[in-house]
């Protein structure tokens, strides 16, 4: 592939974030595989890594590596969209190291110290913020996340303000600012359990079915513009319609988490109706992606990035749309809530909507960051094989979890008398859990294949990063 150079030298800081994201992604999958084995071998890794600690690490790594991916994507995209250098590359690099060290220390804390002791050591008695799923971070970590995100948003916002304004950068900024502001609800932990669950869902749901969808739409639009050459005006129109539908359905769709937590009965109707509409924006993303590919005005040499982008739209529709709709109506959710059907939906939705879109932007940007338009054809072939291996592995896991969930509901939830106990039901699901482990192994092999594609082909001309990049640019 021919050599190239970055349009803006400060884009090179995104490489730090992408590398960290991939490393943390790998760690997340390793812990996920360990969790799958702990379902079957209860004393696996005990007492060194108990199930509750492994689960915290698995879910927290998911959030942290995606945040690294979003930040890296913003640092790469915004200078091009704004047609100006990043406001402060040094700030971006400093925040990277602060975030990475803080995240690593938190993971070490989860693994090395009992959670109750960790809460005592980190000031949870001063402001009680720990103990909720996905928001288990100690108070100092939460404060650090806020500080890092504020610095990041300042850097990105100043870049946008001094340069060109585009629909993509506008949607991206709304999503990123919304992400940061909604995280503030993680500091609110009222004693009233109903209010506690409300504020918790304000973070979790309005992230993944609200602001993150805006970020996903912006990243997908950027990659499709670069790889298809379709007019920006066409993509902008699609983007505005998609995000409007995402916000209309996603915000009121929060009601599907209010069904059985003590909220008024009208949420059964509001949550069911608007949740049933949530597949619409994901279906529109699928149509959007295929429409842009059909209308493409050039054959970009990076076909692997295009595959990730199109695959993202399809799998996101299946995971967030179809599997979400399966159990979102209140009469159905009454039986399925918290079952393995929920786990199936969560895994496929996160993989399709967010993992794949971050891998798409990394697949597009990393070759350019390394001095080439695209990876060699051999490397792209390996990467496309990894796409199918990871996707098939995830589908196997999701189908296994779906089967386990249906059987769990049949044995444990539906009988009006003589229902099987939870642990006895789990024994009946072992066949599905073994299949899930097999899918997880296949996914991990696919991820290793993806990472290996970076080392295939001719040695690229590495683009200097950070301050060195700016010196090259100014020379």
Q: What is the mean pLDDT of residues 392-398?
A: 98
pLDDT at 475 over 50: no
Q: How far apart are CA 188 and CA 118, in angstroms?
A: 19
Q: What is the pLDDT of residues 131-148, one digit of tens each?
A: 898 999 999 999 999 999
pLDDT at 460: 44
Q: Please state the separation of Cα 36 from the chain's center in Å.
A: 20
**Contact partners, residue 344, CB within 8 Å, separation at least 6:** 323, 397, 398, 399, 401, 402, 405
Would you list the DSSP string of 446-463?
HHHHHHHGGGSSSPP-PP
| CA proximity to 96, closest of 72, 76, 129 | 72
pLDDT at 458: 53
pLDDT at 466: 46
Q: How far apart are CA 233 and CA 238, in angstroms?
A: 9
Helices (H) and strands (E) counted in the chain, each on its own, are 20, 0
Q: What is the pLDDT of residues 261-270, one digit of tens each?
A: 999 999 999 9
Q: How far apart are CA 210 and CA 254, in angstroms?
A: 9
How many C-beta atoms lie closer than 10 Å to residue 187's C-beta? 16
Q: What is the pLDDT of residues 42-67, one digit of tens each?
A: 899 999 999 999 999 999 999 999 99
pLDDT at 2 over 90: no
Res. 467 pLDDT band, cuts 50 70 90: very low
Res. 291 pLDDT band, cuts 50 70 90: confident
pLDDT at 5: 82
pLDDT at 292: 87
Q: How far apart are CA 302 and CA 83, in angstroms?
A: 23
Res. 300 pLDDT band, cuts 50 70 90: confident
pLDDT at 468: 44
Res. 298 pLDDT band, cuts 50 70 90: confident
pLDDT at 315 over 90: yes
pLDDT at 75 over 60: yes
| CA proximity to 337, closest of 266, 426, 259, 264 | 259
What phi and psi values does residue 290 have, to the nearest 5 degrees? -65, -35
Mean pLDDT of all residues in the chain? 92
- Residue 41 buriedness (CB in 10 A; 0-12 / 13-18 / 19+): exposed
pLDDT at 1: 60
Q: Using omega within 30 degrees of 0 as the cis cutoff, is the peptide bond preceding 302 cis?
A: no
Distance (Å) of CA 208 to CA 175, 256, 267, 299: 11, 14, 20, 33
Share of the chain above pLDDT 70, in %: 96
- Structural Rg of the chain based on CA atoms: 22
Do 179 and 215 form a contact (C-beta atoms < 8 A)? yes
Higher-confidence position of 96 and 297 = 96
Least confident of 167-176, 189-198, 426-435: 189-198
Q: What is the mean pLDDT of residues 309-323?
A: 95
**Contact partners, residue 283, CB within 8 Å, separation at least 6:** 317, 321
**Contact partners, residue 203, CB within 8 Å, separation at least 6:** 134, 135, 182, 183, 185, 186
Exposure on the CB side of residue 325, measured as CA atoms within 13 A: 16
Share of the chain above pLDDT 90, in %: 84
Q: What is the mean pLDDT of residues 368-394?
A: 95
């Amino acid at each position: 592939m021919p050599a190239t150079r970055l349009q803006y030298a400060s884009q090179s800081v995104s490489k730090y974030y992408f590398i960290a994201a991939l490393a943390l992604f790998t760690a997340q999958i390793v812990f996920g595989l360990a969790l799958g084995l702990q379902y079957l071998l209860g004393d696996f890794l005990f007492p060194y890594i108990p199930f509750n600690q492994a689960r915290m690490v698995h879910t927290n790594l998911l959030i942290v590596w995606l945040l690294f991916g979003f930040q890296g994507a913003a640092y790469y995209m915004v200078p091009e969209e704004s047609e100006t250098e990043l406001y402060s590359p040094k700030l971006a690099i400093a925040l990277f190291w602060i975030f990475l060290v803080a995240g690593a220390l938190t993971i070490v804390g989860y693994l090395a110290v009992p959670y109750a002791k960790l809460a005592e050591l980190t000031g949870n008695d001063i402001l009680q913020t720990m103990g909720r799923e996905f928001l288990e971070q100690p108070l100092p970590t939460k404060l650090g996340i806020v500080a890092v995100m504020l610095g990041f948003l300042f850097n990105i916002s100043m870049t946008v303000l001094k340069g060109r304004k585009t629909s993509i950068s506008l949607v991206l900024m709304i999503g990123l600012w919304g992400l940061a502001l909604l995280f503030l609800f993680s500091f609110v932990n009222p004693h009233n359990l109903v209010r506690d669950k409300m504020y918790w869902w304000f973070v979790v749901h309005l992230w993944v079915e609200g602001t993150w969808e805006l970020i996903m739409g912006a990243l997908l639009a950027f990659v499709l513009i670069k790889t298809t050459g379709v007019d920006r005006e066409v993509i902008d129109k699609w983007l505005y319609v998609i995000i409007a539908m995402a916000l209309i359905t996603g915000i009121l769709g929060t009601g599907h988490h209010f069904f059985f937590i003590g909220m008024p009965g009208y949420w059964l109707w509001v949550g069911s109706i608007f949740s049933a509409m949530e597949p619409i924006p994901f279906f529109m993303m699928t149509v959007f992606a295929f429409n842009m590919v059909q209308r493409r005005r050039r054959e970009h040499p990076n076909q692997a990035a295009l595959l990730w982008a199109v695959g993202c739209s399809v799998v996101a529709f299946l995971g967030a749309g179809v599997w979400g709709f399966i159990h979102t109506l209140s009469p159905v959710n009454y039986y399925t809530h918290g079952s393995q059907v929920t786990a199936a939906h969560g895994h496929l939705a996160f993989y399709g909507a967010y993992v794949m879109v971050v891998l798409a932007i990394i697949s597009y940007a990393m070759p350019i960051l390394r001095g080439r338009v695209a990876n060699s054809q051999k490397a792209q072939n390996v990467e496309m094989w990894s796409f199918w291996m990871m996707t098939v592995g995830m589908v196997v896991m999701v189908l296994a979890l779906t089967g386990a969930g249906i059987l769990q509901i049949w044995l444990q939830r539906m009988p009006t008398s003589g229902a099987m106990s939870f642990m006895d039901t789990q024994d009946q699901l072992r066949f599905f859990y073994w299949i899930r482990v097999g899918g997880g192994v296949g996914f991990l092999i696919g991820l290793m294949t993806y990472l290996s594609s970076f080392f295939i082909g001719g040695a690229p001309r590495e683009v200097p990063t950070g301050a060195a990049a700016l010196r090259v640019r100014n020379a």
